[in-house]
Amino acid sequence: MFTREQDALIFMDQCRCALRRDRGALLISDAESYWDAVRAREVLRGHPGTSLELAAHLLVLCKSTKERRGGSFEAPAERTVKLESRVWLGLEDWCKREGWNVGNLVAKLLWKFLEEEAEKMRKEERRLERDFRWWDEDGGGNLIAGASGGAVRTRTRSGKKK
């Protein structure tokens, strides 16, 4: 497609800029998406370590094969988990000592597992963003010079111009 590497790099920079612009335009141009993000952020306020991105990954991990409008979904009627007898006895013994229910303990452990998986998904997306330079690298919200070598005026984290 490209005969020179320079042309390919310029094209990739243009694609990155278009992606940045389109991602930002979604919230700016779509009022419903903007207010949805604002309301979701309010729900997460006061819960350290939470983010909309992580919540979205958890939702994707926990989605049903048949989602319906209004937030309802279909779930299998049969949801039993079979454990080895020694594992069950160990769980049951621990729960009796701690005053827990085995079902609640298993649900808590599985929820922790799902949160860790969602965090892995989030980190993988961030890695891809960094590798493909979908966002700026200085963290200040300003565009930086890309592979085409065109210098773009930006500010450092301290606010001083480069």
Task: Please give the distance of CA 83 from its chain centroid, rounded to a whole number.
Answer: 32
23-32, 65-74, 83-92, range with greatest mean pLDDT: 83-92
Within this chain, do residues 24 and 56 fall inside the same structural domain, yes or no?
no
30 and 8 within one domain: yes
Q: Domain residues for 98?
A: 51-62+80-137
pTM (two decimals)? 0.56
Instruction: Read off the pLDDT of residues 4-48 as tens digits, 9 standing for 90 and up.
Output: 777 777 777 777 666 666 665 555 566 777 777 788 888 888 888
Report how many domains make up the chain: 2
Give the pLDDT confidence score for residue 12 in this predicted structure: 75
Rg of the chain taking only CA atoms, in angstroms: 23
pLDDT in tens, 102-144: 999 999 999 999 989 988 988 888 887 777 665 554 455 454 4
Within this chain, do residues 39 and 57 fall inside the same structural domain, yes or no?
Answer: no
**Residue 57 sits in the same domain as residue 128:** yes
Task: Name beta bridge partners: 37.
Answer: none
Q: How far is CA 32 from CA 11, 28, 35, 38, in A?
A: 33, 10, 5, 10
In terms of domains, do 29 and 103 share one? no
